[in-house]
Chain A
Amino acid sequence: MLKSLHVEGTTLLHRLSVRTKLAVLFAASLAVFLTVDPFVLGGAVLLSALVFATVGVSFSQAVSRLAWPLVSIGLVAGATAFFETPVHGLVVLFRFATLILLAATVTASTEVGDFMEEITRLMMPFERLGLVNAADIGLALGLVLRFVPEIATRYESLREAHAARGLPVRPLKMLAPLIILTLKDADMIAMAIDARGLRRH
């Protein structure tokens, strides 16, 4: 079961600074839009898959992390192929697959705490302009990274509860209780953030 997006390790990627990783991710997300050559983009997918493989995520973990994002871009790519041309569809698929693989690499090799600090630091100039509260953005990001895997855990326990009572397990039927449970927890987490004084007002 997916408990944490981060993977323990001391690989090169783990040791790179958060800033470097974010900069590379940012550069890559611009670069994939500079070309429409499916061969170049296909190469990019392979390359990023190789990079992802070095972080030490097991195969089953990789599947559980990437399945849903890849299925959803698969749908978008399918639609593009249908309404435009198959080559267009392939280009869309390769572009986003590259980005998803690279983003997954960054989250797997970076501690949430380090992530939050770096994002907060990056947002400081915008805070000085009076546009945002940097610490809030860092905290929001940290919360997403910390609690998204918990939604998966909750789905699993709902599934078990259904199975234990001999009820058919239908993912769509579980959506409503899953949302309610998640909102309830979100409420508690928000309260805890206030109680711990984690936001300056």
Chain B
Amino acid sequence: MEIRFADCSIHYGETVALHPLDLVLTERRIGVIGLNGSGKTTFARAINGLVKPSRGHVTVNGLDTSEDGPAVLGTVGFIFQNPQNQLILPIVADDIALGLKSRGVAKAEVAARVEGILMRFGIEHLARRRVHALSGGETQLVAMASVLVTEPDILILDEPTNQLDLKNRKRVIDTLAGLDEAAIVVSHDLSLIESFERVLLFHEGRLIADGMPGDVVKAYEAVALC
């Protein structure tokens, strides 16, 4: 996998959410940290093209997010900060099937793949449950399943352990550890990213540290406490 930011900046009206950024990402596990409002979500959304650069380019495996939108969306799966809103159909299995159906996958194959992904996540028992009646941890796992069933190469998770209790947090971390896909994880939960290959620190819309988790976390503590 290769994600490339080339002189990319992002504005929301007057607010500069991301200052011009040049960056190449190839690692399998990348963490993104920073204070509230530092631009993490904006950065993450730029990767799958939900937010387009105001200037410059973002490419994923050579696909430009501004020009090849649908192809990028097929390559990069995204789990939102509030995954409840991402589940569209009220029954878990139906919702997971939806992404496949809208891609024109045949009925028999849909059923098999839905079952496969439920098994992979160890949540077969949730198949017929209603999405509004799931716990936070279950919602997170179902959202991950509903995205991964369409086989993206890269998965972005925006604060996946936010609001989870210790047990569900561990489940999400274990699931994450077992993923074959590359993952970019935005998190305030620093222990979640401590084993990652690379961590990025954003501050006021700028990338101010980039490297091994230990060093970047130290830099984060320095900006957070001053």
Q: Footprint of B on A, CB under 8 Å?
A: 3-4, 6, 111-113, 116, 135, 139, 142-143, 146, 149-150, 185, 188-189, 191-201
Contact = CB atoms under 8 A, between A and B. Distances in A.
A75 to B, nearest CB: 31
Given A3-B132, A135-B102, A201-B70, A193 B88 contact: yes
- What are the 3 A-B residue pairs with the smallest beta carbon separation, nearest first? A113-B94, A192-B86, A195-B78
A197 B70 contact: yes
B48 A188 contact: no
Contacts of B77: 195
Given A4-B132, A142-B88, A143-B88, A196 B94 contact: no
Nearest to A3: B132
B102 A197 contact: yes
Contacts of A195: 48, 50, 73, 77-78, 80, 86
Majority secondary structure, A binding face = helix
B85 A197 contact: no
Contacts of B78: 195
B147 A191 contact: no
Contacts of A201: 70
A112 B222 CA distance: 51
A193 B147 CA distance: 11
Contacts of B104: 200
Given A188-B80, A188-B82, A196-B86, 17 more contacts: A3-B130, A112-B94, A113-B98, A142-B88, A146-B89, A146-B90, A149-B132, A185-B85, A189-B86, A191-B80, A194-B73, A195-B48, A195-B50, A196-B147, A197-B73, A198-B98, A198-B102
A115 B145 CA distance: 23
A191 B50 CA distance: 7
Nearest to A191: B50
Interface in B85-132: 85-86, 88-91, 94, 97-99, 102-104, 130, 132
Interface of B: 48, 50, 70, 73-74, 77-78, 80, 82, 85-86, 88-91, 94, 97-99, 102-104, 130, 132-133, 146-147, 150
A192 B78 CA distance: 8
Given A3-B132, A188-B82, A189-B85, A197 B103 contact: yes
Contacts of B98: 113, 196, 198
A92 B178 CA distance: 62
Nearest to B74: A197
Contacts of B89: 112-113, 116, 142, 146
A200 B102 contact: yes
Nearest to A145: B90
B148 to A, nearest CB: 11
Nearest to B147: A196
A197 B150 contact: yes
A198 B96 CA distance: 11
A135 B48 CA distance: 23
Nearest to A196: B99
B43 to A, nearest CB: 15
**Residue among A135, A146, A189, A196 with the highest chain B CB neighbour number at 10 A:** A196
Nearest to B89: A113
A192 B80 contact: yes
A197 B90 contact: no
A185 B90 CA distance: 17
